[in-house]
Copies of this chain bind each other. A is one copy, B any other.
Amino acid sequence: METLFYIADLFGVAVFAITGALMAGRKSMDLFGVLVIAIVTALGGGTLRDLILDNHPVSWIRDDTYLIVCTLAAVGTVLWVRVTRPIHETGLLVSDAFGLAVFTVIGTEVALQHQVPVSTALIMGVMTGVAGGVIRDVVCNEIPLIFQKEIYATACLVGSLVFVILRQLGTPHWVDTGVAMLVVLLIRLAAIRWHLGLPRFHLLDRDIP
């Protein structure tokens, strides 16, 4: 179970690193920039969570597998695009949803281990899932997409809440983990499939004179 989860975590890291590398490519960055954006996207959310929770050592500090996976994913993305050209977008979105599910559950669990209130645990679940992507967009000078497009962070929030509830009901570890991940995955895939978005808040100039 532990091993399975570790592998799922590394898979999430790889997928997030790929989305980072692609965004760097859209900004025509050089290879080092591609690597940095890949690492920041993949490890940024977990790092921020660990810093705020004072959860040291930060995961990737002691285990260099994370940095190696990021590097391979970044290099692989560049080679793939150079050689094969088109990216399979649906495949990427589904993989990203899976990574989001893993990260959300890990983040919520780490927070719960620190005996924080439920609201903090939810925030940490969401933060672990989305902060890396937000930092990626900010460094690349874009308004974070996740605050504007289809449901994304909301999937983390619901999944994180399901995890907290199941954990308090005392279900076996594989049940709460599995169900919470499935919830994130299904909400996110439904949002992609039917372009579901939250209502948006438009503030016009006349609203604030």
Contact = CB atoms under 8 A, between A and B. Distances in A.
A34 interface: yes
A208 B31 CA distance: 19
Contacts of A201: 21, 24-25, 28-31, 34, 78, 81
A148 B52 contact: no
Contact of A31 (B62, B138, B143, B199): B199
Contacts of A152: 32
Contacts of A63: 117
Interface residues of A, number: 70
Contacts of A157: 32
Contacts of A37: 147
A68 interface: yes
A118 to B, nearest CB: 7
Given A139-B144, A147-B33, A198-B32, A208 B24 contact: no
30 contacts: A21-B201, A24-B147, A25-B201, A25-B207, A26-B203, A28-B201, A28-B203, A29-B143, A30-B201, A31-B198, A31-B201, A32-B146, A32-B152, A32-B153, A32-B198, A33-B144, A51-B52, A52-B58, A53-B61, A54-B57, A62-B116, A62-B120, A67-B119, A67-B120, A78-B201, A86-B206, A87-B208, A89-B209, A139-B143, A141-B143
